Chains A and B, each alone.
Chain A
Amino acid sequence: MRSTSNAALPHSPLQAGAWAILPLTPGIVPFGLIAGLTPVQLGYHWLDSVAASLLIFAGASQIAAYQLIAEHSSVWVIFLTVIAVNLRYILYSASIAPHLSDAPWPLRLLAAYGLTDQSYAVCLKTFAARDFDLSERLRFYFGGSAVVWSVWQTTTLIGALAGQVIPLLWSLEFMIPLSFFVLALGTIHRPAHRTAAVVGGTVAAMLMHAPFNLGLITGALMGVIAGMAHHRWGSTHAS
């Protein structure tokens, strides 16, 4: 049910956005630390970590990009992998667009940069329940995005600085596949997703010595096709 008044809001929309997103920030912390630490453990400067965090601002793809850069993958493989890891943002963008697309273009650009899993989830839920005007929606959105951005940049910086003093014997590079593992398991909700994951992982493993790390993109493509085929086969046999 939509509320027609904002009187129940405990704070201004900016503060309300920040408060609404705060409970989700502990989940960001470990990945921020890993994203900051990864480039340093792979031999890059801590400023390189900070640069990736500022320029890309999308956790999993930052880690993936550095892993592939360290493996001397082709620029195209790095570029395509970052796109593939971030494709979900197209769906987020499509869902959130009706609430933000009337804003002036500099604010739309800033809103696009600040779009994250957390801001998407919180804002979509709130915008559906509250009768905000455009200005209030923008302030709520930027309040939440600013919190996520600050937590992400701070934890990345901490991770990058910590990476310089943590001994290599701790084998923290293992956190890279582990963090993707956690993220991957979190995306499996149906049997067809499991098929996509198993095929994607198996093909990528079989082709892991392919030049330019092309096995990664091939595995991902085969996984998507297998997931779609499973879904269609299931639908056909269920009907």
Chain B
Amino acid sequence: MHPELLLVLGLCGLATLALKGSFIEGQRHLQLPHWFREALEYVPPAILMALVIPGFIKGEATLITLAGPVWIDPRWIGALIAFGSYVLTRRSIPTLAAGMLGLHGSYWLQNLLQS
């Protein structure tokens, strides 16, 4: 393992431990300001979606790199199908499965139509 990678992972681990232990360790001394508590509520949807959208549009799927381009980026179709599956089921495993099936189904269908 590369020492720099270990250092980054160690730093991330320490930061996570500090967050988890913040009040367990310092309950008597810490008090969160109201605005901060309010802001915390919006952090998960904002940061997670900030990770999601570029992941759906940046670069290209390995599938395309290895097997060639198609008309419509299959990641967009996979994402749409995953969203539909989440709306219907509200469960993670069917959503992940639907997204992957959407990616491959739409890619290979377009690939077939193009050839």
Within 8 A of B (CB), among A44-84: 44-45, 47-48, 51-52, 55-58, 60-61, 64-65, 67, 69, 75, 78-79, 81-84
User: Once the chains bind, are B51 and A216 in contact (CB under 8 Å)?
Assistant: yes
A197–chain B nearest beta-carbon distance, Å: 4
B56 nearest in chain A by CB position: A177
Q: By the criterion of a CB under 8 Å from any partner CB, how many residues of chain A are at the interface?
A: 94
User: Once the chains bind, are B12 and A175 in contact (CB under 8 Å)?
Assistant: no
Which residues of B have CB within 8 Å of A165? none
User: Once the chains bind, are A202 and B11 in contact (CB under 8 Å)?
Assistant: no
B37 nearest in chain A by CB position: A91
User: Once the chains bind, are B21 and A93 in contact (CB under 8 Å)?
Assistant: yes
User: Once the chains bind, are B63 and A97 in contact (CB under 8 Å)?
Assistant: no
Which residues of A have CB within 8 Å of B13? 55-57
Given contacts A57-B16, A180-B52, contact A81 B42 (CB under 8 A): no
**Residue A215 CB within 8 A of the other chain:** yes
Majority secondary structure, A binding face: helix
User: Once the chains bind, are A100 and B75 in contact (CB under 8 Å)?
Assistant: no
User: Once the chains bind, are B32 and A177 in contact (CB under 8 Å)?
Assistant: no
User: Once the chains bind, are B86 and A193 in contact (CB under 8 Å)?
Assistant: no
Within 8 A of A (CB), among B45-60: 45-58
User: Once the chains bind, are B61 and A173 in contact (CB under 8 Å)?
Assistant: yes
User: Once the chains bind, are A223 and B82 in contact (CB under 8 Å)?
Assistant: no
User: In the complex, A208→B49 CA distance in Å?
Assistant: 13
**A199, A201, A226: which contacts B52 (Cβ < 8 A)?**
A201
**B9-48: contact bitstring with A at CB < 8 Å (1 yes, 0 no)?**
1111101110111111101101010000111111111111
Residues of A within 8 A of B (CB): 27, 30-31, 44-45, 47-48, 51-52, 55-58, 60-61, 64-65, 67, 69, 75, 78-79, 81-94, 96-98, 100-101, 105, 108-109, 111-113, 115, 168-169, 171-188, 192-194, 196-205, 208, 215-216, 219-224, 226-228, 231
